[in-house]
């Protein structure tokens, strides 16, 4: 069964460093998302992406964050200058349609900022 | 803004028994969707069941069913004949059906379900 895959599974970085989290969505999906979950808190929406553009973004998704689909398979989340509060599990998801609510999630990338 | 609350951080159930997970939400919208997602340990979150707010009939998927009470803003998940594979974190989620909500989901805090053999 097709799956969304994410790399790395865990990344430790120093505050101020740039981080790129990578995702390979399901191949025939056209809509892509990033969510995050800070330890002990709820899963939160960050951004949705379609047709090489951001469709929606939350208040969390400020200028420090960017997303890109650099080729036909990868979908990346970049954090330019990491802060301690960026430590979280980051979930990539994809979907066939933009409005059914059926998202296919990856296992997550745990980011630890020291 | 919408909020989703799951008041049970942990629940346990005996194998083959029935368990109900609670979810309440707050919204001023009349049209929306509600979901239950399941996340087994170290695995991806997967959609278990979906309910459209305009439908009065409660959604059912095999052993999983919901009790949707729109006026009370309550959306509970019932798992019948619980199996060991049902052990997971369960998330309740809300999606607006208005405007350009896309697939922006608002999640509850999750309920960890343990299944005892």
Domain count for chain A: 1
**Which one of A10, A35, A42 makes the best mutation probe of the B interface by having the most chain B beta carbons within 10 Å?**
A42
Maximum pairwise Cα distance, chain B: 46
Structure tokens at B91: 């998330």
CA distance B29 to chain A (A): 16
C-alpha dist (Å) from residue B94 to A87, A89, B3, B36, B37: 25, 20, 8, 9, 11
Under the banding of pLDDT at 50, 70 and 90, the label for residue B10 is very high
**Residue B37 pairs with which residues in a beta bridge?**
B47, B91
Strand pairing of B111-116 and B10-14?
A: parallel
> With contact defined as beta carbons under 8 Å apart, do A108 and A38 qualify?
no
Nearest CA in chain A to B35: A101
Average pLDDT, chain A: 94
CA angle B21, A104, B37 (to 5 degrees): 0
Domain count for chain B: 1
pLDDT computed for residue B27 by the predictor: 94
pLDDT at B100 over 70: no
- CATH number of the domain within which A21 lies: 2.60.40.10
For residue range A76-89, what is the model confidence (pLDDT) as tens digits?
999 999 999 999 99
Nearest CA in chain A to B94: A101
Domain of A14, in residue numbers? 5-113
**Residue A76 pairs with which residues in a beta bridge?**
A22, A68
A44 touches chain B (CB under 8 A): yes
Structure tokens at B22: 């609670």
For residue range A27-59, what is the model confidence (pLDDT) as tens digits?
999 999 999 999 999 999 999 999 899 999 999
pLDDT at B99 over 80: no
B110 touches chain A (CB under 8 A): yes
With the C-alpha atoms ordered A96, A94, B107, B79, is the resulting torsion angle positive or negative?
A: positive
Mean pLDDT, residues B8-25: 97
Supply the DSSP string of B71-113, one letter for each residue.
Answer: TTTEEEEEE-S--GGG-EEEEEEEEE-STT-TT--EE---EEE
- CATH number of the domain within which B36 lies: 2.60.40.10
Structure tokens at A81: 């200058």
Which of A42, A48, A99 is facing B107, going by the closest CB pair?
A42
The phi, psi pair for B91, rounded to 5°, reads -115, 130
Structure tokens at B105: 């989901």
Contacts of B40 in chain A (CB under 8 A): none
For residue range B22-66, what is the model confidence (pLDDT) as tens digits?
999 999 998 899 999 999 988 899 999 999 999 989 999 999 999
Neighbours of B41 (CB within 10 A): 8
pLDDT computed for residue B109 by the predictor: 96
| Nearest residue to B102 (alpha-carbon basis) of A44, A90, A97 | A97
Domain of B95, in residue numbers? 3-116
- The fraction of chain A above a pLDDT of 70, given in percent, is 100
Residues B20 and B42: their CA atoms lie apart, in Å, by 23
Chain A to chain B, count of Cβ pairs less than 8 Å apart?
A: 65
B93 touches chain A (CB under 8 A): yes
């Amino acid at each position: 069964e097709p799956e969304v895959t994410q790399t790395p599974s865990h990344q430790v970085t120093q505050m101020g460093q740039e981080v790129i989290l990578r995702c390979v969505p399901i191949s025939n999906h056209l809509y892509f998302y990033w969510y995050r979950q800070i330890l002990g808190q709820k899963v939160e929406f960050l951004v949705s992406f379609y047709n090489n553009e951001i469709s929606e973004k939350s208040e969390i998704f400020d200028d420090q964050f960017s997303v890109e689909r650099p080729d036909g398979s990868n979908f990346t989340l970049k954090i330019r200058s990491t802060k301690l509060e960026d430590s979280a599990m980051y979930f990539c998801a994809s979907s066939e349609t933009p409005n059914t609510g059926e998202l296919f999630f990856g296992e997550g990338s745990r980011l630890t900022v020291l | 803004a919408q909020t989703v609350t799951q008041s049970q951080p942990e629940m346990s159930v005996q194998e083959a028994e029935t368990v109900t997970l609670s979810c309440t939400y707050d919204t001023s919208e009349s049209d929306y969707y509600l979901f239950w997602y399941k996340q087994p340990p170290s695995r991806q979150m997967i959609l278990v069941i979906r309910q459209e707010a305009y439908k009065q009939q409660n959604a059912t998927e095999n052993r999983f069913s919901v009790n949707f009470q729109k006026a009370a803003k309550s959306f509970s998940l019932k798992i019948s004949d619980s199996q060991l594979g049902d052990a997971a974190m369960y998330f309740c989620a809300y999606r607006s059906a208005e405007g350009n909500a896309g697939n922006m989901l608002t999640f509850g805090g999750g309920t960890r379900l343990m299944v005892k053999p």
